[in-house]
Amino acid sequence: METQYSPPDDPLMILHEDAEVLLVDKPAGLLSVPGKGSHLADCLLARVHAAFPDALLVHRLDRDTSGVMIFALTPYAQRHLGLQFEKRMTCKTYVARIWGVPAEKSGSIDLPLIVDWPNRPRQMVCYETGKPAQTKWKLLKSEGDTARVRLFPKTGRSHQLRVHMLSLGHPILGDPFYAEGAALDYPRMMLHSEELRFKHPQGGRSVKIRSAAPF
């Protein structure tokens, strides 16, 4: 189910800025990059460019996901960070609220994913043609008929965390594509990029940037 695009008008929230990198807190409901058509032109990249004209894209977050997102401020930093994402040298942590309470306290999901073409941009599990996708998860606490979990993706497939949690029978609350019934009846998708760890392009030191989940 595709929903009408009504991006929030939150001001740009800067988490870290230096000569090479810029980290911002993306609000839920805002595209990372422009979509097709003028009605989808408003996006985080455009808002960042308004304040940092030289900013360069490194990665993306789903429209309905909030949290930490990094941009490069030089071509060198873009190449450096791009290789870290490609070689899985970054460490990403997410927080989500899910429908139901898992029986276990933690676990790992290893299910290959591919786009569900007739229903794109939905993704699906496919053992024949899917690309490898791995996620570790940890139960933080139960909240009535729902639970709060921390997610540690080892790969970065489209909709990976959303489909992987659905595969456990615990869709992310408010997910417009994968949640149904009462699990869909939330004001936003309850998925937040909580922390990003990476090697700084200048000198290689380890950097950790966090953003507390707003739900």
Mean pLDDT value across residues 85-105:
97
Mean pLDDT value across residues 80-95:
97
Mean pLDDT value across residues 17-23:
98
What does the pLDDT look like over 135-192, one tens digit per residue? 999 999 999 999 999 999 999 999 999 999 999 999 999 999 999 999 999 999 999 9
- Got the DSSP string for 128-161? TTPBP-EEEEEEEEEETTEEEEEEEESS--TTHH
Please, what are the domains in the chain?
Answer: 94-191 (3.30.2350.10)
pLDDT at 118 over 80: yes
Going by C-alpha positions, the residue among 89, 73, 93, 88 that lies closest to residue 17 is 73
Alpha helices in the chain (DSSP H): 44-51, 75-86, 160-167
**Type of residue found at 59:** H
Q: Which residues are catalytic?
A: 62
Mean pLDDT value across residues 65-71:
98
Q: Average pLDDT over the chain, rounded to whole?
A: 96
Mean pLDDT value across residues 123-145:
97
Q: Does residue 143 contact residue 97 with C-beta atoms inside 8 Å? A: yes
Q: Does residue 100 contact residue 146 with C-beta atoms inside 8 Å? A: yes
* pLDDT for position 188: 97
